Structure 1
Amino acid sequence: MLKPSPYGWISQYFLGFFFAYGVYLPFWSLWFKEQGVSSTDIGLLVGLGLATRCVANLVITPRVHRVEHLMPTLRWLSFAALIFVGFHFFTGGSFWLMALATVLFNLCCGPVVPLSDAMANYYARLKMLDYGRTRLWGSIAFIAGSTVVGFLVAEFGSDMILYTAMVGVFFSLLFAMRSINPMPVTRGDQYAERPKLSALLTDKSVVKFLVLVSLIQGSHAAYYGFSAIHWKAAGHSEDVIGYLWSLGVAAEVAVFALSKRLFAGWALRTLFIVAACGVMMRWGMTAATTSIVALVIVQLLHGVTFATAHIAAIQYIQNSEEHKMVALQALYNAIPLGAFIALMTVLSGWGYEHWGALVFWGMAAMGLLALFIKLDPQEPSHNVVDVSEKALETQN
């Protein structure tokens, strides 16, 4: 079997995995809905998936210490994910079986992003690939996945959600089975002990940062869980919903790609204010209208509400003391991008079932609260290029 370069191996793995993730994130709640699951229970299931990914990244991911273990781990995770996507076909409408399938699948896909990013960063340090150029293929694949599945569901029904996700996971496994040239090897200076996360949670400035980013990123919970259902109920077809999700990711990628020009010289406070104002505008519009023109604007604002906030968060982490950076990155992924979104997804499910689109006004209010949180001063970042590349580490 051919041995691809580090760039070829990792970018192609990203293509398969994020194609599947582009199916999973926007359309899984719609598949649950087609199985007769209530909005409240959909919120529980989606929140359970987010919480599982959070726990997996705190418990499973740190156990992979050596770079030569990354590739075998990704292979096993991809193989297990393929099985557990297929397991959804046998849930038979049972909430508890769906919950089990959700936990098992997210235990696999949760660690994939940080572990594959670790491989990319390893080879980037060796000057064998450009991280941003490599990771960009994941965002492109996410757009392709959400677009393709929207068309297929509109033509052939909701079972295509599972089939399409399985295709993406299968190709990620197929790409992962090849050996890379050269293979990763642990070096002596890579045995450094991981900083303790608990020590940072008593730091007032860190707590402010986590609360601020949780409010902005957590405001996306109703969007992740219920936008597809809400827009379908308003009369938009599945393929249109897929195009809208793809537009949001395209706006995100554009902001990442242009961040060096867009945000050069901007203060961290300004970035967070722009993101918070975008949150109020975006979710207020989502609550008020389902006009296709308005929804195009709503999705273009994803570049503000998600990407700009993510760039600001990465800049905050990079401006911190060097020995704190890894721990801060772990807390950022575990709490604002994991546990808090999981909690808000559960609450959004209850809110959507009782109030419908009005739940998005609650998401808009989170942007208002974020405006009142001012972070403690930091030294300004001097490396906006690195910020834009690391910003591509999304959870889309």
Structure 2
Amino acid sequence: MKNPNLTPDNQSSDHASDRMQTATILALFFVGLFLIQGVFLPYWPVWLKAQGLSAGEIGILLSLPNWVRVFADPLIAQRADRTGNRKTPMLWLGGIYVLSILAFPVSSNFWWLAGLSVVIGFTFSPLLPLGTTITVHECKARDLDYGRVRLWGSLAFIFASYGAGWVLDGTSTSWIVWMLFIAGIVNFAILTRMPDPQTDRPLRSGSSLIYLLRKPVFLIYLGCIGFAQGAHGTYYSFASVHWESVGYSHEMIGIFWSIGVIAEIALFAVAGRFVRGRHPGMLFALGAFAGIVRWLVLGSSDNIWLIILVQPLHAMTFGITHLAAVSFIARAIPQALATSAQSLMATLSMGVFLGSSIWASGPLYENFGSQAYYVMAILSGIALAFSFWLMRSWRGEDQTFCD
């Protein structure tokens, strides 16, 4: 029954307030995740190195979470699509992650660290596809700009990476674990406030994962995002280690990482109109071409000004590629399959492709140093070829995979 006391102006005000509240908590979701990532990506290799591990062992430990998500993400995502419930598993996973971080300082034994890395892969990795599915759903339902919601995660990454570098220059690497623990507590608190839409109908029968993997266009799409993300393997695993080895301070390393993410934020802030209506294959091509340039430069020089010059290309190699991946799923995939699609994308791109690349970067960096980036440039070139294939194979139809 309609409330007779509600005027059109009041209804409009309530609607605007509801949109703002939803946008705020969705933005905070990304803040929580990327506070963790902002410490983990630049400085976890540094912590592992301080435990006396070799480059090869570091590569294995860094790749393990990515490999675990190959199994964890699809299982959790398919369950979420069948039940329509995404928030409850996110709370369980976020809580277990916080507890597992505390166990890392117990021993520097390789196998102890490997076991905990498996737990991290199982608990932290699925949070992004689960939360992104909720975010995309709420953005469509409430006419919110996904890019402007997502950019707050990038701001959190800058705060965490620069702040952690500043802390470490005045303390010791042991603080890396405690910063990850504090970020995990913040993340869990935010997860408790996430919306919990229950609008998707469970699939009637069969596996949503197998259904998607039988679609040639979806496989080409996975090639685009997979090789593009895999090309970041050496950067994510050994950029900080290498910059530290050539004499850059932890604070300067934090600045290097922050420059790339600042550019990513600027992209997310203004890219909404540009992305809307653009073919995802074209966006993938822009990111892949930028990757070729970025990795060739980082592989050939440690000059501070060249590093500063190419770090903004992170807006293309990661940012525009991420928007292309989300845009394809939002346009081509029915909502009942959205979490499975997000999970397959994250599993294969951040699991199989990036995991393999990080693992390979260990021996590559051990033998060739920063020239390992040249292999990353080759992966970006393959991603570029897949992006052209996607443009030829898919016309951009909405709900492509509706039977």
Query: 2:115 and 2:244 mapped to 1: Cα distance?
Result: 27
Query: 2:278 and 2:32 mapped to 1: Cα distance?
Result: 36
Q: Residue 54 in 1 paired to residue 70 in 2?
A: yes
Which stretch shifts more, 263-272 or 76-85?
A: 263-272
Matches within 5 A, 1:7-18: 7-18=23-34
Aligned to 1:394: none
Aligned to 2:295: 283
Q: Residue 354 in 1 paired to residue 367 in 2?
A: yes
Aligned to 2:16: none
In the alignment, structure 2 segments of 5+ residues that lack a partner are: 1-19, 399-403
CA contact (8 A) 2:36 2:180 kept: yes
Query: 2:345 and 2:240 mapped to 1: Cα distance?
Result: 27
Aligned to 2:201: 190
Distance 1:288 1:214, change over 3 A: same
Distance 1:116 1:316, change over 3 A: closer
Aligned to 1:86: 102
Query: 1:35 and 1:11 mapped to 2: Cα distance?
Result: 35
Aligned to 2:14: none
Query: 1:212 and 1:298 mapped to 2: Cα distance?
Result: 22
Report how far residue 264 of structure 1 moved: 6.6
Aligned to 2:232: 220
Which stretch shifts more, 110-119 or 144-153?
A: 110-119
Aligned to 1:256: 268
Aligned to 1:306: 318
Distance 1:201 1:7, change over 3 A: closer
Instruction: Say which of 39, 45, 48 aligns to 1:29.
Output: 45
CA contact (8 A) 2:332 2:397 kept: no
Query: 1:147 and 1:57 mapped to 2: Cα distance?
Result: 30
CA contact (8 A) 1:84 1:101 kept: yes
CA contact (8 A) 1:320 1:378 kept: no
Aligned to 2:305: 293
Aligned to 2:357: 344
Report how far residue 312 of structure 1 moved: 2.9
Query: 1:270 and 1:72 mapped to 2: Cα distance?
Result: 37
RMSD: 2.9
TM-score computed with the length of structure 1 as normaliser = 0.84
CA contact (8 A) 2:65 2:125 kept: no
Which stretch shifts more, 358-367 or 261-270?
A: 261-270
Residue type of the alignment partner of 1:59: L
CA contact (8 A) 2:151 2:269 kept: no
Report how far residue 353 of structure 1 moved: 0.9
Report how far residue 328 of structure 1 moved: 4.0
CA contact (8 A) 2:129 2:343 kept: no
Q: Report Cα offsets for 1:6-55 as digits up to 9, x if no partner.
A: 44544444433321221112211111011111111111111101112332
Residue type of the alignment partner of 2:188: L
Matches within 5 A, 1:94-173: 94-121=109-136, 123-124=138-139, 127=142, 131-173=146-188
Query: 1:158 and 1:241 mapped to 2: Cα distance?
Result: 14
Distance 1:209 1:256, change over 3 A: same
Aligned to 2:7: none
CA contact (8 A) 2:275 2:323 kept: no
Q: How many residues align?
A: 374
Query: 2:83 and 2:155 mapped to 1: Cα distance?
Result: 26
In the alignment, structure 1 segments of 5+ residues that lack a partner are: 383-396
Query: 1:71 and 1:263 mapped to 2: Cα distance?
Result: 28
Which stretch shifts more, 8-17 or 316-325?
A: 316-325
Distance 1:66 1:12, change over 3 A: farther
Percent of pairs identical after alignment?
28
Could you say what secondary structure the match of 1:197 adopts? helix
Residue type of the alignment partner of 1:353: E
CA contact (8 A) 1:318 1:381 kept: no
Q: Report Cα offsets for 1:340-389 as digits up to 9, x if no partner.
A: 1101111111111111111111111222333444223322479xxxxxxx
TM-score computed with the length of structure 2 as normaliser = 0.82
Query: 1:134 and 1:12 mapped to 2: Cα distance?
Result: 9
Report how far residue 275 of structure 1 moved: 2.1
